[in-house]
Structure 1
Amino acid sequence: MHIEVYNAKLHNLKNITTKVPKHQFIVVTGVSGSGKSSFIFDTLHQEGQRIYLEALGIAHDVQHYDSFDMILGLSPTIAVQQRTVSNLNPRSVVGSVTRILNLLAIIYAQEGQRAGESQHQPDEYVPGLFMFNSPHGSCPACGGRGSVVEVNVAKILPPPSETIEHWHQFAYQFPHAKNEEKEYVHKRLDNFVKHFQVSTETPFAALPEEAREAFLNYRPRRTQSKGHLIFYGVHVVIEEKLKKLNVQQFPDLLTTRLCARCQGFRLGPEALSITIGDKHIGQLCQMNVSELAAFLRHYQTARPHTPFVAHLLAEILRKLDCLETVGLSYLNLYREIPTLSGGETQRLHIMSHLSAKVDSIIYIFDEPTAGLHEQEKEKIIESFHRLKQQGNTVIVVEHDESVIRHADTIMDFGPLAGQFGGSIVYQGSYADFLTSRESITARYLREKKHPPKKYASRMGASFPKLSLRNARTHHLKNIDVDLPLGAIVGICGLSGSGKSSLVIDTLIPKLQSSFKAKAGKQRPLVEEEEEREGDSAYTQADARLEGAENIDGCVVVTQKLARRHENSCVATFLGVWDHIRYIFSMQEEAIALQFTRSSFSFNSTGSCPACNGNGHIKRWLGQQTFYDPCPSCQGKRFKREVLQVRYKERTISDVLEMSVTEACEFFRDHGKISKLLGTIEELGMGYILLGQSLTTLSGGEAQRLKLARELGKNTKGSYLYILDEPTVGLSYYDTEKLLILLGKLIASGHSVLLIEHDPYVLAYCDYLIELGPGAGDKGGEVIAKGTPEEIKQQACSLTGPFLP
């Protein structure tokens, strides 16, 4: 049985006609921009979705109605893409997403016992009592979060030896000093001074106890009578200001502490007094998947259960086994979804499909091994074969060699990206694939060559380094880590071994604090502040940092893109859009029509009034969102009169449709534009469109776009570039381009730190630090360190055996 596709021609596809075998494990590969996603997601998946909805009697106009001539043999498709599985709700946890928490709550409602009770009536408790997201169950003190984020104003107040006038002035000038003096500020301090018979020059430390308490916390009563003290304590003044600001902007002020009422278990006292097997549900939710499975297996046999509860226990254990299969045994049920990587989130979705046990579905996965150590990939590959054995077709878009090696059929797109791609250069078995002369992917798999290094790495006791001492954040076991500067350093280890805890949650906050003093003089840290979740608990970095004076700043490049307006596109994100609009506003037709820069913005006065510059009309069907081209502007996004203005015979809408490669050539006379776009080309992303929405980018593409933006800023000095799994979404061909660029950064006097799993990249690093040996509380130690050659010789290393 096959899926027959005739003349697929969406985007850069070159009229592809092919037969895709069904009930197989198929891996689709090729360089970035070669047409993989256009064929698999935008053609096969879109058409499969349309057929299914039509069968349900729901009309659905596919946006790309002319993207192929005919497709036969399609079944319903389910696509799990990294960019579509992000969940930014911090109250969403592993237990709620997998529904294991719901099932456990029902078991507690049925069989839970209070201390001293022999039995209870089955209807005595409701399941919501055992769920932190339910009003019946959540801890009243922390609202079910398990922790309380507090503002510690004392951290920023002046020294006690300073005068109360200085303290008072500081409170009213926080967070930014203001030159204007307001009369009421002086009047309030005068009121305080007269009431307590002290001087404005009195040091805070010398205030009597009653006066000190009032100076910090006094708030006047609403009913004002003669002689009543009108004064606001400095804590009150600052806290009122913080209510109007995003406190995440002041991480040094935030203190996260365990909720004293529920001790981090998130639930109210009644739920925590009820147990099964001598454990309350909060304790079960804080066990990792492996521990919880062991506990429930023992509970399953330790006492008799009703058939209903026996079924619930079997269902939970099946789900836990699936979590173990996809390499997530180190998670616990309370782990918040926004803290998971794209790969971890996607593997959660794979687990839900594995446990569903349906057949005749076409499953499409987008780089499911992202974020997995080589040793962990075996289980995920097994899960694909299991889905296939259930009677499904599994299509995986992937660059990983171990996944390609286990495929029944390989489809390789290319040969290159954009207009030089769009063809299937190979379709068949792995053995024959390695002999293919047309495939760039096959050539890299055969040769595995690294680009030459055009720099001399500076490592050794006499060279500068950054050091973290006594790191204890999350599961880190009080470790000391030295990071050589002037080199590419890779942090590796199993998923959950502590890599992110060390770099993202410890090193970056410590560097941020260290550079605060220099903030007025330079750009000490580059990090998208708007990407921080306002409702997420602030991580307290527990370590001591040494050597921050050896660098001038730090550039953090993660895979996450901030939640921006859906109109945000590549051109606006890179900062070239303003320059392009200025060019159009300077054309003769624009001047004659009195157009300004804003006239050429699809977010401003130039936008099509029918679709508000979106280019499409959005429709909702349940949880699905569909887009139809705007009937007024035909997807061009602008008013008709704006499109009369041309630059080099192109309209502003035409420019948005250009790829980065085209635009680079088109604007070659404009230095700022061509420099930024040229950096993206160097990173192998010349195929993306200037008007492409940021919401359509994969994690790897988002990260490279950020890197290109940072490199275009002419950072002077010696900076540390921190990249979080930069090879997600990259073929070997594109990875080589990234390594060349990282080499240029080192040659320019900068340093690079990577969190990475890819053996090809790790072998190119100058120095590796491996964490482990296991995940969660079984990790958090440095198990190996040294050059890649040294790591290969260390028996304790789990990464060494996979290095080429």
Structure 2
Amino acid sequence: MERNTIEIRGAHEHNLKHIDMSIPRQKITVVTGVSGSGKSSLAFDTVLAEANRRFFYTLSHYSRQFLDLGARPALRSASGLSPAIALAQNETQASVRASVASLSDIGEMLGVLFARFAEKRCPTHDLPTEARSLDEIVGFAKSQYFGRTIAVTVTIADQKKGQFKKQLEGFVKKGYSKAFIDGKLADIDPIPNLAKDEKHDISLIIDSLKVDPSKEQRLRRSIETSLNLGEGLACIHTVDTKGKLESRSGQHISLQSGCPVCHFAWPRLDTRHFSPNSLGRCEVCDGRGVIIDEDDDPKAEENFEPEACKNCAGTGLDPKLKSITFRGRSIQKFYMSTIKDLFEFASESVDSSLGDSAAVKLVLETLLNHAQRMMDIGLGYLHLGRRIRTLSNGEAQRLRLSAILNEHLRGVLYVLDEPSQGLHPREIDRLWKAIERLKSQGNTVIIVDHDPDMMRRADWIIDLGPGGGVQGGMLLAQFDPKEAKAYAKVSATAEHLYNRLTSVARAPVKHSFKEFIQIDKPRLNNLKMAKARFPLGGLTVVSGVSGAGKSSLVLKTLFYNLHQEIKSKVWNKPKAKTVPWFCSGFSGADAIEFCTLISRKPIAKSSVSMPATYLDIFTDL
């Protein structure tokens, strides 16, 4: 019989004091308490760690040797656990390549849509690349390469992992002896020993010859043979005076497609050709979407956005891909559009797809579902090409939550770390509906949070305390929020929930300020204000709904310009040369000599970091 609760007995991980508790299954439980009371130790280091350990131990011994299972959590016993998925705060900084499209899997689905169903046109002449005959291809080769030495090749591997021994052995038996492997000309007899776990580029050389009238029949045979071996696709490379193959000058030829003017042909396209992290990346920025200057101050670099790449308009995609469109839209246009725009496009396309194949409808419906989930939790304003590094912590966590909602898993234990962090009170409703959807699918949800609205809506509350560190780790109460009155004497959380205490001690307020830091016309991301003023000698709170521009204004624009202002003083740099960053003017910071950014990013640099090393206490000792 299926258990109705998760039973934890004798938990003593970190500062937990051998606590026993019951967590209802298929319900929403909020673990709360003061900072350092043991919330994460219970939810993540005990419940999640034990659930993962048990799941991984169902794998074979061979598979487990590749996993870092860690030590068994400190507890006496646990029962009723399910396979678990964690949604924690960012532990490491996201890659500069990571974007909304890649993290949400929308980029992958767009790749399928464009690789399979898009219209392909010539990047130079904007003409359809329709199928050509063998005679037309041979005629093009004679006119384009007359008097030059060429090599006719067939692609065996295009950025794929493996050793490809069977394929190469088959070609050796047919009499072929050379191939272009990972940028170098190589003999394939004997078969080269390639690294199995690395990606390789392999092009088999069918023939190498000088194009002139006396070799027309040989040229025709070579091209025909290459097209047969490549299933209608092949490539022609020029060979320099030293006999070296110019791999980057390859001209694709195809019986299936080609420009009628320049005979340009697209290779056999798959999702990798539409990814900025793979074969579809921009050559100027290497798919990053931004130009990274190695001479920039490394301390300031992580707090501002580098200049967007003009070649790809910040998308990280090869500009040639603009010539491949689906219903008039290129993949670059999708990356520059918002989730809401994608939802509207997919919705209209699904409604008007009467003549489309079932496969097209399936891809469009999948995109529609992804966009709908993201809009349900208030992320419709994000652009697909937006870099994850530029998102606030709350936006990044909700983006990962939307990916979880698309999985439709059942019987899973979800552990969430402060999902309400960074959200405006009016946005909590959307978040809670998403969490309720997980519960309705038969999952168990454990949330570490302090938000009163989240606690009041939960099915169960676990309150730890009473203090932090050695003074915490005790189970003060576990109760249904509706029964908070009965636990008000033993739990400060229950008392606040029952009495709805909201008063906060207020300090005397200054109403007059004489000096301000002023930012004129900040324009980073979605900022559109005329000016922003921050009083000196006062405490300023910047608030607004998620995505309103709080981080862009304070953590990016204000901090970086302030940092540059102070740096110019240290280097005795003339103020006239200090150009305001993403604003028309920055003033009022003359009296400031030092600034520091206290963010939510982890301060640990390695697994052995500790407060004593961060505070440099060991140096004094």
- The two structures have a TM-score, normalised by structure 2, of 0.69
Is it true that 1:71 corresponds to 2:78 in the alignment?
A: yes
SS at match of 1:132: coil
Determine the C-alpha separation between the residues in 2 that align with 1:477 and 1:51: 52
1:34 paired residue number = 37
Determine the C-alpha separation between the residues in 2 that align with 1:83 and 1:341: 10
Determine the C-alpha separation between the residues in 1 that align with 2:86 and 2:414: 6
Partner residue of 1:442 out of 491, 494, 498: 494
Is contact 1:459–1:485 with CA below 8 Å preserved after alignment?
Answer: no
Is it true that 1:543 corresponds to 2:593 in the alignment?
A: no
Partner deviation per Cα, 1:602-660 (whole Å, 9 max, x = no partner): xxxxxxxxxxxxxxxxxxxxxxxxxxxxxxxxxxxxxxxxxxxxxxxxxxxxxxxxxxx
Partner residue of 2:363 out of 298, 305, 312: 312
* Matched ranges for 1:567-582 at <5 A: 567-580=608-621
Task: Give the superposition deviation at 1:273.
Answer: 0.9
Determine the C-alpha separation between the residues in 2 that align with 1:422 and 1:565: 26
1:107 paired residue number = 113
Is it true that 1:10 corresponds to 2:17 in the alignment?
A: no
The verdict on how the C-alpha distance between 1:551 and 1:457 changes in structure 2, with shifts beyond 3 A counting, is farther
Is it true that 1:138 corresponds to 2:145 in the alignment?
A: no
Determine the C-alpha separation between the residues in 2 that align with 1:21 and 1:541: 50
Task: Give the superposition deviation at 1:118.
Answer: 9.9
Determine the C-alpha separation between the residues in 2 that align with 1:63 and 1:275: 49
Between 429-438 and 410-419, the greater mean CA deviation after superposition: 429-438
Is it true that 1:416 corresponds to 2:419 in the alignment?
A: no
SS at match of 1:571: helix
1:691 paired residue number = none
SS at match of 2:541: strand
Determine the C-alpha separation between the residues in 2 that align with 1:411 and 1:277: 53
Partner residue of 1:508 out of 555, 559, 571: 559
* Number of equivalences: 464
Is it true that 1:24 corresponds to 2:167 in the alignment?
A: no
Task: Give the superposition deviation at 1:63.
Answer: 5.4
Gaps of 5+ in 1: 151-242, 522-537, 581-804
Is contact 2:53–2:72 with CA below 8 Å preserved after alignment?
Answer: no
1:206 paired residue number = none
Task: Give the superposition deviation at 1:50.
Answer: 1.4
Higher relative contact order (CA 8 A, sep 6+): 2
SS at match of 2:595: strand
Amino acid in the other structure paired with 1:71: A
The verdict on how the C-alpha distance between 1:476 and 1:357 changes in structure 2, with shifts beyond 3 A counting, is same
Determine the C-alpha separation between the residues in 2 that align with 1:577 and 1:422: 28
* Matched ranges for 1:182-581 at <5 A: 248=298, 257-303=307-353, 304-433=355-484, 436-445=488-497, 446-453=500-507, 456-460=508-512, 463-519=514-570, 540-561=581-602, 564-580=605-621
Taking only the aligned residue pairs, the percentage that are identical comes to 32
Is contact 1:285–1:332 with CA below 8 Å preserved after alignment?
Answer: yes
Is contact 2:580–2:586 with CA below 8 Å preserved after alignment?
Answer: no
Amino acid in the other structure paired with 1:29: T
Partner deviation per Cα, 1:510-564 (whole Å, 9 max, x = no partner): 212322343269xxxxxxxxxxxxxxxx994223122112434323211124672
Is contact 2:405–2:434 with CA below 8 Å preserved after alignment?
Answer: yes
Determine the C-alpha separation between the residues in 2 that align with 1:569 and 1:540: 35
Task: Give the superposition deviation at 1:246.
Answer: 5.7
The verdict on how the C-alpha distance between 1:77 and 1:339 changes in structure 2, with shifts beyond 3 A counting, is same
Partner deviation per Cα, 1:82-107 (whole Å, 9 max, x = no partner): 144x4431011121122211111111
The verdict on how the C-alpha distance between 1:62 and 1:556 changes in structure 2, with shifts beyond 3 A counting, is closer
Partner deviation per Cα, 1:678-712 (whole Å, 9 max, x = no partner): xxxxxxxxxxxxxxxxxxxxxxxxxxxxxxxxxxx
Task: Give the superposition deviation at 1:567.
Answer: 2.2
The verdict on how the C-alpha distance between 1:129 and 1:13 changes in structure 2, with shifts beyond 3 A counting, is closer
The verdict on how the C-alpha distance between 1:452 and 1:140 changes in structure 2, with shifts beyond 3 A counting, is closer
Is contact 1:10–1:64 with CA below 8 Å preserved after alignment?
Answer: no
Determine the C-alpha separation between the residues in 2 that align with 1:563 and 1:67: 23
Is contact 1:506–1:543 with CA below 8 Å preserved after alignment?
Answer: no
Is contact 1:256–1:539 with CA below 8 Å preserved after alignment?
Answer: no
SS at match of 1:49: helix
SS at match of 2:439: helix
Is contact 1:505–1:541 with CA below 8 Å preserved after alignment?
Answer: no
CA RMSD of aligned residues (A): 2.8
Task: Give the superposition deviation at 1:260.
Answer: 3.9
Is contact 1:457–1:486 with CA below 8 Å preserved after alignment?
Answer: no
SS at match of 1:426: strand
2:87 paired residue number = 80
Task: Give the superposition deviation at 1:408.
Answer: 0.8
* Matched ranges for 1:599-678 at <5 A: none
Determine the C-alpha separation between the residues in 2 that align with 1:504 and 1:422: 34
Task: Give the superposition deviation at 1:415.
Answer: 2.0
Determine the C-alpha separation between the residues in 1 that align with 2:553 and 2:480: 41
Determine the C-alpha separation between the residues in 2 that align with 1:54 and 1:459: 63
- The two structures have a TM-score, normalised by structure 1, of 0.54
Determine the C-alpha separation between the residues in 1 that align with 2:32 and 2:316: 44
SS at match of 2:414: strand
Is contact 2:561–2:581 with CA below 8 Å preserved after alignment?
Answer: no
Determine the C-alpha separation between the residues in 1 that align with 2:272 and 2:24: 47
The verdict on how the C-alpha distance between 1:570 and 1:502 changes in structure 2, with shifts beyond 3 A counting, is same
The verdict on how the C-alpha distance between 1:297 and 1:518 changes in structure 2, with shifts beyond 3 A counting, is same
The verdict on how the C-alpha distance between 1:249 and 1:363 changes in structure 2, with shifts beyond 3 A counting, is closer
Gaps of 5+ in 2: 132-255, 258-266, 573-578
2:192 paired residue number = none
Report which of the two has the higher share of helix: 1
Is contact 2:392–2:551 with CA below 8 Å preserved after alignment?
Answer: no
The verdict on how the C-alpha distance between 1:36 and 1:279 changes in structure 2, with shifts beyond 3 A counting, is same
Is contact 1:149–1:255 with CA below 8 Å preserved after alignment?
Answer: no
Amino acid in the other structure paired with 2:503: K
Between 480-489 and 545-554, the greater mean CA deviation after superposition: 545-554
Partner residue of 1:128 out of 246, 268, 272: 272
Task: Give the superposition deviation at 1:326.
Answer: 2.6
Amino acid in the other structure paired with 1:408: D
Partner deviation per Cα, 1:1-36 (whole Å, 9 max, x = no partner): 111122222222222222211010111111112122
The verdict on how the C-alpha distance between 1:393 and 1:94 changes in structure 2, with shifts beyond 3 A counting, is same
Is contact 1:459–1:484 with CA below 8 Å preserved after alignment?
Answer: no
Is contact 2:519–2:585 with CA below 8 Å preserved after alignment?
Answer: yes
